[in-house]
Amino acid sequence: MTTTPWDFGVNKELKLVDEKLRDMVTSEERTLTDASLHVISAGGKRLRPTVTLLSYKCLGGEDTQRIVDIAAAFELIHSATLIHDDINDGGLARRGRETVYKKYGLHSAIVTGDFLFVKAFSLGGMYDKMVVRTTADACARLAEGEVLQNRFRHTNEMTVDTYVKVMERKTAEPIRAGAMIGAYLAGGTMDVVSGLGAYGLNLGIAFQVIDDILDFTGDEKRTGKPVGMDLKEGYLTLPSLLAIKSSEKAKKEILELVRQESPSPESVMRCVSTVIDSGAVEKAKGMGEYYALEALQHMGSLPDTEYSRSLRDLVGKVLNRDS
């Protein structure tokens, strides 16, 4: 299964991003190229490059190649983290196909992720200190988020506040960085750059909340993975954290499951049903809506253009997606 990018008026630029991605992962070592293309060619929503491109164009940015390179750098970073995440989680499938480490082996997967990070910084490193520092800070926060999340894996100590902190670092900070850099390269004032950064941060949290909801309610044919994977892998996400508060029975059942290294498929599905029946999915959706509104609140100073309207429409798409 491959997915196509969302259409928000920058599909021409996104095609250039994809061309850049393929060009950047060409290597004398065929395995590096093949493994990189395995994750890149699976498609995806291209949320990070879309936000970067729209932030640039909504402020009148005109140098397409300049912003395409930065947008490609953020997608390379994202692809690298997907490979490393699947290694950490023992994931077997992503977007309906084998994970890189499953197909190419652990060693090749680790090196391919490193290769993609290096390629990303070879693009971002061509720009000034603000761009390099913002990108590097986002990557550092991303790594911190992964370590923080793993600390609470297979434990009952995760809280909603810690969950949000993990989502900020792992998902939202790179989106924030892309929005800021897009605005900065278009000549935006520091207030506008900061505002678009806050838009990206809140959009990223809303995106991850919906992603975690779909782990309970999604259609495998649409999402590319079976439901209940977070619970199976020992992670408490927002829906399960809210379900725990609904009753002692739900709390006992969910916490017993996540502490197990290899829970049975039947016990995972029972917990999925418990979370859904508790009403936690609706409450989690409400939190996603809160962060979506926060994203919109930070767009007040933007000029009314086709691309700023696309940024607004993107918020609704994130909230209402089914894959």
**3-state DSSP assignment of residue 315:** helix
The pLDDT, as a whole number, for residue 320 is 94
How many distinct structural domains can be found in the chain? 1
Q: State which residues form the domain around 283.
A: 11-320
User: Is the residue at 3 inside a domain?
Assistant: no
Tens of pLDDT, residues 284-314: 999 999 999 999 999 988 999 999 999 999 9
Residue 121: burial class (beta carbons within 10 Å; 0-12, 13-18, 19+): middle
Virtual torsion, Cα 49, 50, 56, 62, nearest 10 deg: 90
The pLDDT, as a whole number, for residue 285 is 98
CATH of the domain at 259: 1.10.600.10
User: Is the residue at 180 inside a domain?
Assistant: yes
Q: Could you tell me the pTM of the whole model?
A: 0.94
User: Is the residue at 152 inside a domain?
Assistant: yes
User: Is the residue at 259 inside a domain?
Assistant: yes
Q: At what angle do helices 190-217 and 265-277 cross, to 10 degrees?
A: 120
The pLDDT, as a whole number, for residue 2 is 56
User: Is the residue at 19 inside a domain?
Assistant: yes
Tens of pLDDT, residues 215-236: 999 998 888 888 999 999 999 9
Intervals of the chain under pLDDT 70 = 1-4
User: Is the residue at 5 inside a domain?
Assistant: no
- Residues sharing a CB contact under 8 Å with residue 15, sequence separation 6 or more, in sequence order: none
List the beta strands (DSSP E) in the chain. 93-94, 97-98
